[in-house]
Structure 1
């Protein structure tokens, strides 16, 4: 355990991993604004909305309300997407760059502006392929890996040059804003020149015949056709042979989070640099696909939100199940008070009070249920979603949305998803009950020894 915690602590304190984690988190105001606008459309105003299914009849598109809403209301909410969800990759690049600049005490504005320029230099953002999907550019989720790398590499070059002192220094009487601008000229030029090599090499490769006809014409297409396509095929594929890799990937990823939490390390924060680019991308793609194609959209079976609505009920370790088990089966007065205090936060997916109050961290009594609960619930949610019982995620929701309600909102009030969330909550309680009873016996033994 000492060695494990030492390694995990080093990973968790790595400045680049922290920048990825916090950079993704910094985009939430932008992305949630787009997600809310899309969800309003999906629930009320488009012909494939929840409301359309209730009042629209056999052909909602011909219902007077949805004809009116499609002309006057839905376009308003749809207009928000290009400035929010469709800028995911660009926003991630800027967010990571800002975190790195703040961490290194370098001017954040200059760093962010240079990173923005580097992102645009890398090549065409619009697809020209005849088999392009509904997303027409790489500013959004499909460019997220390039955006993440740009947010790491551009500030790295810029900051190193600034710290070497290769800057234009202005006299003290010059206004600070002007001084910072001049100081960024040389580091910015070198950084942007380094990024300009990428499209230049693609161009030379195409003109000299080094790149085969039909191969990727820019770094965005290259990443999509290789890394991103591979990861999405492994963890989010639609074919039958992708079921097992997707299930195992989701289960073992979630288990890594609970093991980290048990060791006293914030599992979701440490693993966010992996989760956000893969399963977070699935969230964005599903939301945009459903917004454009409705019930005909091809959706990924498991997304980052899927864990929220099925596995992380009350937080990592499905600790809302533990709180409920404590409320009904616990005999320890200290645990009773902790359960009472933790109930309200737990309903909104915040579980630090129960994790550090019981405590669960390094507590062998609760090791087994805490580590296995969310992986097991992941498997239940994944399988029921894959077979079509539970509807797939089509709306992004805040991670603090209470269980069951979250499943309803994320899947456009799909009955199967709601039932699946209820099943998962019940299973989590069943998992914890034997260990609450074991804790009662340990408490009785302690009282007997004291007596």
Structure 2
């Protein structure tokens, strides 16, 4: 049975994960979100400060401190620049990274990607189209524009070549002039024809047909449950599951966070569940697979000194959400005893999260979660100071502990029986 499962993973899941890790286009999108993370965190905290300092429900609502509301702009502008322009920054970063991979001038490719992206937006609503609703358009445009530009740059016949006496910066600009113009006009003409024939801009079409349904499916309880299962299976097989599935998960999480921020700024309740903070509280708490609970179960039930030593050494990383010391140190990887609880524990706690939010016990977050922060502090800040988030940390650790404990006991019995058999022989 285990051999059949390993063969299935080898044949189907591992190649897909390897492709996603090595594909230069997917890796550029994944790396772009990693680069953007400090800005997303800054933007989310700017909204939080605006609410609690300059909002009527915060300090500005206290008699004598109403004047604080006059300074909300110093936070709202940061939030707009970081969150409401997310798609623009993503386009620029992907254009830069892809330019490097295609051995082009990255600053040139970055600007070209940005100009192509802006040329496809509705000029009348452009200030509201730069955020998460345009993320799919940003991926599509940044990749396609640089692919076209790179191919044109490889055609020496259309380059304007200047004498060697001309400074390199000017010479490079003229070299890229015709390829850049052709690329920009391709997107400008395509966008103009699309609007002229349909009365709609490409961003509206992509958002309505692809991005919104995709976000809804992936962010649903079933969609997130499937992501958790695939992530844990990849981890068990020795592949960084979270890293491998980030190109699918991160855009949806970023869009959900942006939607929650917009809802809070408009005075309504945030409704999107699947954010990075949700994963840090319900799926990756104490490391992927909630292995902090496994470590605690081993410390309580295991008779193996080497396992206990590994868990003791790994405890501080686990508190900060780093699971590699346990996954590869015990190991959990390719260990048939821990496969079921390693998948089951985060699957159960993820569904607890959906139930808690749908029941109103916990409100969806609108502050970005900071990876690597200690447990409890991370969840308290990400869920904007809700004490119910702290209680759910304890609930999740206990539930996962209960799931892991029988398998730890079983592993000890199996080891003991093996030792007895060896002595009898």
TM-score, normalised relative to structure 1: 0.85
Matched, 1:293 2:266: yes
- 1:271 Cα shift? 1.2
Which residue in the other structure is 1:192 paired with? 184
CA RMSD, aligned part only?
Answer: 2.3
2:294, 2:170 → 1: CA distance?
Answer: 57
Which residue in the other structure is 1:380 paired with? 352
Asked if structure 1 preserves the Cα contact closer than 8 Å seen for 2:293 and 2:397, the reply is: yes
1:386, 1:38 → 2: CA distance?
Answer: 24
- Farther off after superposition, 280-289 or 398-407: 398-407
The one of 123, 130, 140 aligned to 1:139: 130
1:65, 1:287 → 2: CA distance?
Answer: 28
Within a 5 Å distance, the mapping from 1:253-402 to structure 2 comes to 253-290=227-264, 292-294=265-267, 296-402=268-374
TM-score, normalised relative to structure 2: 0.90
Within a 5 Å distance, the mapping from 1:198-237 to structure 2 comes to 198-205=190-197, 211=198, 217-234=200-217
Matched, 1:40 2:31: no
Q: Secondary structure at the match of 1:64?
A: coil
Any idea what the Cα deviations from partners look like across 1:175-198, whole Å, max 9, x if unmatched? Answer: 332233222212211211221123
Q: Which runs of 5+ in 2 are unaligned?
A: 1-8
Matched, 1:418 2:417: no
- 1:44 Cα shift? 4.3
- 1:65 Cα shift? 5.4
Inter-CA distance 250–111: structure 2 relative to 1 (3 Å threshold): same
- Farther off after superposition, 352-361 or 8-17: 8-17
Asked if structure 2 preserves the Cα contact closer than 8 Å seen for 1:45 and 1:66, the reply is: no
- 1:388 Cα shift? 0.7
1:432, 1:169 → 2: CA distance?
Answer: 67
- 1:62 Cα shift? 4.3
Any idea what the Cα deviations from partners look like across 1:110-158, whole Å, max 9, x if unmatched? Answer: 1101111111111225549xxxxxxx61101111111121121111111
Any idea what the Cα deviations from partners look like across 1:322-350, whole Å, max 9, x if unmatched? Answer: 22222222222221222122211111111
Any idea what the Cα deviations from partners look like across 1:257-297, whole Å, max 9, x if unmatched? Answer: 1111112112122211211222321012212321x234x33
Matched, 1:2 2:10: yes
The one of 66, 73, 76 aligned to 2:74: 76
- Farther off after superposition, 377-386 or 220-229: 220-229
1:443, 1:353 → 2: CA distance?
Answer: 22
Inter-CA distance 118–344: structure 2 relative to 1 (3 Å threshold): same
Inter-CA distance 335–86: structure 2 relative to 1 (3 Å threshold): same
- Farther off after superposition, 172-181 or 251-260: 172-181
The one of 15, 24, 42 aligned to 1:15: 24
Asked if structure 1 preserves the Cα contact closer than 8 Å seen for 2:121 and 2:203, the reply is: yes
Q: Which runs of 5+ in 1 are unaligned?
A: 53-60, 129-135, 206-210, 237-245
Which residue in the other structure is 2:3 paired with? none
Q: Secondary structure at the match of 1:312?
A: coil
1:7, 1:143 → 2: CA distance?
Answer: 26
Matched, 1:163 2:137: no
1:338, 1:33 → 2: CA distance?
Answer: 36
2:262, 2:205 → 1: CA distance?
Answer: 22
Which residue in the other structure is 1:243 paired with? none
2:227, 2:258 → 1: CA distance?
Answer: 20
- 1:382 Cα shift? 0.8
2:222, 2:270 → 1: CA distance?
Answer: 22
- 1:394 Cα shift? 2.0
1:37, 1:435 → 2: CA distance?
Answer: 45
- Farther off after superposition, 3-12 or 340-349: 3-12
Asked if structure 2 preserves the Cα contact closer than 8 Å seen for 1:126 and 1:137, the reply is: no
Inter-CA distance 168–338: structure 2 relative to 1 (3 Å threshold): farther
Which residue in the other structure is 1:67 paired with? 66
Inter-CA distance 440–177: structure 2 relative to 1 (3 Å threshold): farther
The one of 173, 176, 183 aligned to 2:175: 183
- 1:38 Cα shift? 2.1
2:87, 2:335 → 1: CA distance?
Answer: 40
